[in-house]
Chains A and B, each alone.
Chain A
Amino acid sequence: MNRIARAFEGKKAFIAFITGGDPNIETTERLIIALAENGADIIEIGIPFSDPVAEGPIIQAADERALASGCTVDKLFDMVERVRKSVTIPLLFMSYINPVFVYGTERFMQKCRTCGIDGVIVPDLPFEEQDEISPACEKYGITLISLIAPTSHERIDAIAKNAEGFIYCVSSLGVTGMRSEINSDIAEMTARVKRVSSTPCAVGFGISTPQQAREMAAVSDGVIVGSAIVRLVAEYGEACIEPVAKFAREVAAALEQSEGEAGNGGRT
Chain B
Amino acid sequence: MDKKGRFGKYGGQYVPETLMKNLHELEAAYQHYQNDPEFQRELLDLLKNFAGRPSLLYFAEKMTADLGGAKIYLKREDLNHTGSHKINNVLGQVLLAKKMGKTRVIAETGAGQHGVATATASALMGLECEIFMGKEDTERQALNVFRMRLLGAKVTTVTSGTMTLKDAVNETMREWVSRIGDTHYVLGSVMGPHPFPTMVRDFQKIIGAEIKEQIMLAEGRLPDAVIACIGGGSNAIGAFYEFIGDESVRLIGCEAAGLGIDTPKNAATLTLGTVGVFHGMKSYFCQDEYGQIAPVHSISAGLDYPGIGPEHAHLSDIKRAEYVPVTDAEAVEAFEYLSRTEGIIPAIESSHAVAYTKKIAPDMSAEQIIVVNLSGRGDKDVAAIARYKGVDANE
Contact = CB atoms under 8 A, between A and B. Distances in A.
B293 interface: yes
A51 B14 contact: no
Interface of B: 4, 12-22, 160-161, 166-167, 170, 173-174, 177-180, 274-280, 282, 285, 287, 289-293
A155 interface: yes
Given A50-B292, A51-B293, A152 B4 contact: no
User: What 10 A-B pairs have minimum CB-CB distances, sorted nearest first?
Assistant: A102-B291, A174-B178, A149-B18, A99-B291, A98-B291, A50-B292, A151-B21, A149-B17, A50-B293, A97-B277
Q: Which of B17, B160, B166, B289 has the most CB of A within 10 A?
A: B17
Contact of A126 (B16, B178, B179, B276): B16
Contacts of B13: 126, 128-129
Given A101-B277, A129-B4, A129-B12, A152 B291 contact: no
A250 interface: no
Contacts of A74: 290
B291 A150 contact: no
A15 interface: no
Contacts, number: 114
Nearest to B276: A98
Given A128-B4, A129-B12, A102 B173 contact: no
A128 B293 contact: no
B17 A175 contact: no
Contacts of B20: 126-128, 151-152, 155
A50 B166 CA distance: 11
A138 to B, nearest CB: 20
Contacts of A164: none
Nearest to A168: B17
A60 B18 CA distance: 19
Contacts of A67: 292
18 contacts: A49-B292, A53-B170, A53-B173, A56-B174, A72-B290, A73-B290, A98-B276, A98-B287, A99-B292, A102-B287, A123-B16, A126-B14, A129-B4, A129-B13, A148-B17, A150-B18, A151-B17, A174-B18
Interface residues of A, number: 39
B17 A103 contact: no
A102 B290 contact: yes
A175 B178 contact: yes
A54 interface: yes
Interface in A61-75: 67, 72-74
A62 to B, nearest CB: 13
Given A54-B177, A74-B290, A151-B19, 14 more contacts: A53-B174, A60-B160, A97-B14, A97-B277, A98-B293, A100-B291, A126-B17, A127-B17, A129-B14, A147-B17, A149-B17, A151-B22, A174-B174, A174-B179
Contact of B16 (A54, A60, A159): A54
Given A51-B166, A98-B277, A124 B174 contact: no
Contacts of B180: 151, 173
A73 B292 CA distance: 11
Contacts of B278: 51, 98
Interface string A38-50: 0000000000011
Contacts of A174: 18, 174, 177-179
A191 interface: no
A170 B17 contact: yes
Interface string A74-85: 100000000000
A126 B15 contact: yes
Nearest to A67: B292
Interface string A190-202: 0000000000000
A101 B279 CA distance: 14
Contacts of B293: 50-51, 98
A175 B173 CA distance: 10
A115 interface: no
Contacts of B161: 50-51
A234 interface: no
Contacts of A72: 290
A6 interface: no
B285 to A, nearest CB: 8
